[in-house]
């Protein structure tokens, strides 16, 4: 496959109402299929909103939410990227997952960096892995919202061959310039396509979300970008162009990993920031 059509779902999430949000998701999945998308991506914690009261909603993976999304994948013949609160001790985890057109659970990822500025780390524990998975033979990865501020996991995915990374988020309007800049930066520095999907509307905590979901190609250029309204943002990722650029300008081969590690030790910058 040389082109991948992706639909980003700018959902105005109903606060802590999984049934209402799954009903919305079915309509959006139908629209994505009608638009010819192969993949549809929902925002972070799309069945709940960015809740700091995860315990009542914690569930296993696979579990009720993955099964509900898998049913939509089968119904509409799509890969779907969803998310849920995963049950985990001592604290729940903010997780994203992918289901395939056959209803299989393709991958699951746990947010590496709970958003400490918003006290997420007090309610969720961080994950410890960045799985690589395939969509129609295309190497892909997942990150979640605040993870976007950390280049290391994106680089880890890139050096393992990831060509597309999906980033479900709840990114508020007051920091939206950082959202757009960081999506482009992660794409440029890793020569990969980055697909950031952000919710729209206002949550129960009074935070406003401006949409601005976007697909960026491997040059950081915008393939498609949403406004502040609820709905789909659809675009085509040109994988042949991405692969040709990596071959013509193999920047990742010039990394000096041992030097970077030595500089951290030499300058005393290694810190234990584990908030799990």
Read off the CATH number of the domain in which 103 is found.
Answer: 3.60.110.10
* pLDDT band per the 50, 70, 90 thresholds, residue 275: very low
Residue 65 contacts residue 59 (beta carbons within 8 Å): yes
Q: Looking at the predicted structure, is the pLDDT value of residue 90 above 80?
A: yes
Residue span of the structural domain in which 112 resides: 3-250
Q: Is residue 117 part of a domain?
A: yes
Catalytic, out of 140, 145, 195, 218: 145
Q: Looking at the predicted structure, is the pLDDT value of residue 202 above 90?
A: yes
Q: Is 218 a catalytic residue?
A: no
Mean pLDDT of the chain: 96
Predicted structure pTM score: 0.95
Task: List helix spans (H) across the chain.
Answer: 18-34, 64-76, 151-159, 176-190, 239-248, 257-266
pLDDT at 268: 75
| 28-40 pLDDT, tens digit each | 999 999 999 999 9
Q: Is residue 263 part of a domain?
A: no
Q: Is 134 a catalytic residue?
A: no
Catalytic, out of 24, 84, 111, 195: 111
Q: Is 145 a catalytic residue?
A: yes
* pLDDT band per the 50, 70, 90 thresholds, residue 273: very low
Q: Is residue 256 part of a domain?
A: no
Q: Count how many domains the chain has.
A: 1
* φ, ψ dihedrals at 14, nearest 5°: -80, 125
């Amino acid at each position: 496959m040389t082109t991948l059509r992706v639909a980003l779902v700018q959902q105005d999430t109903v606060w802590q109402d999984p049934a209402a949000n799954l009903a919305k998701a079915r309509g959006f999945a139908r629209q994505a299929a009608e638009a010819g998308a192969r993949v549809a991506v929902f925002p972070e914690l799309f069945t709940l909103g960015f809740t700091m009261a995860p315990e009542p909603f914690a569930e296993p993976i696979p579990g009720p939410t993955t099964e509900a999304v898998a049913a939509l994948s089968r119904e509409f013949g799509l890969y779907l990227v969803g998310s849920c609160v995963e049950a985990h001790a001592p604290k729940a985890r903010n997780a994203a997952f992918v289901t395939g057109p056959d209803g299989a659970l393709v991958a699951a990822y746990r947010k590496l960096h709970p958003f400490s500025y918003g006290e997420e780390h007090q309610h969720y524990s961080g994950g410890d892995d960045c799985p690589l998975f395939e969509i129609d033979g295309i190497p892909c990865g997942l990150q979640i919202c605040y993870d976007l501020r950390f280049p290391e996991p994106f680089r880890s995915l890139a050096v393992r061959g990831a060509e597309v990374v999906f980033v479900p988020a709840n990114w508020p309007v007051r920091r939206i310039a950082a959202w757009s800049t960081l999506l482009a930066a992660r794409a440029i520095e890793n020569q990969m396509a980055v697909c950031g999907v952000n919710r729209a509307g206002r949550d129960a905590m009074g935070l406003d979300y401006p949409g601005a979901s976007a697909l960026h190609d491997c040059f950081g250029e915008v393939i498609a970008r949403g406004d502040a309204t609820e709905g789909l943002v659809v675009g085509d990722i040109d994988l042949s162009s991405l692969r040709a650029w990596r071959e013509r300008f193999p920047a990742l081969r010039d990394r000096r990993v041992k030097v970077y590690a030595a500089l951290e030790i030499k300058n005393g910058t290694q810190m234990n920031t584990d908030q799990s």
